[in-house]
Amino acid sequence: DAKTTQPTSMDCAEGRAANLPCNHSTISGNEYVYWYRQIHSQGPQYIIHGLKNNETNEMASLIITEDRKSSTLILPHATLRDTAVYYCIVRVGGSQSNFGNEKLTFGTGTRLTIIP
């Protein structure tokens, strides 16, 4: 799986949009970008994933650059409950997941703190 690079930490004011960047310059054509978050002491939580098109769900939006070498997770109206560590992961998978290669590699992620 391709390696990702994320800032160690970020702050965001409550109610504002939180934009979390991720670099994955060695991503392969069949690798998807996944985002998870981990709220203190809890298990990681799936947020969103995408291949090359921008994606949106009830939690967040994912913007992937045209060359797919970087992406941004957007939490449109951050709340205090969004304070967590956010992990950007690239892996083979998505709509045609290769279950023999489901080994997610978690880095250290971005610690996002929402400021009241």
Partner 1 sequence: NAGVTQTPKFQVLKTGQSMTLQCAQDMNHEYMSWYRQDPGMGLRLIHYSVGAGITDQGEVPNGYNVSRSTTEDFPLRLLSAAPSQTSVYFCASSSLAGQYFGPGTRLTVT
Per CB under 8 A, residues contacting partner 1 are 34, 36, 41-46, 49, 87, 93-97, 99-100, 102-109
- Give the helix/strand (H/E) hosting 52: none
Question: Nearest approach, Cβ of 87 to partner 1 (angstroms)?
Answer: 7
Q: Please give the Cα distance from 112 to 116 (Å, whole number).
A: 13
The Cα 94–Cα 80 span in angstroms is: 30
Instruction: Provide, rounded to whole angstroms, the least separation between the CB of residue 53 and partner 1.
Output: 16
Q: How far is the CB of 47 from partner 1 (least distance, A)?
A: 9
User: Residue 54 or 97: which CB sits closer to partner 1?
Assistant: 97
Q: Is 57 helix (H, G, I), strand (E, B) or coil?
A: coil
Residue for token digits 């949009």? 17
Select 58 or 67, whichever has its Cβ closest to partner 1: 58
Residue 41 or residue 53: which is nearer to partner 1 going by CB? Answer: 41
71 in helix, strand or coil? Answer: strand
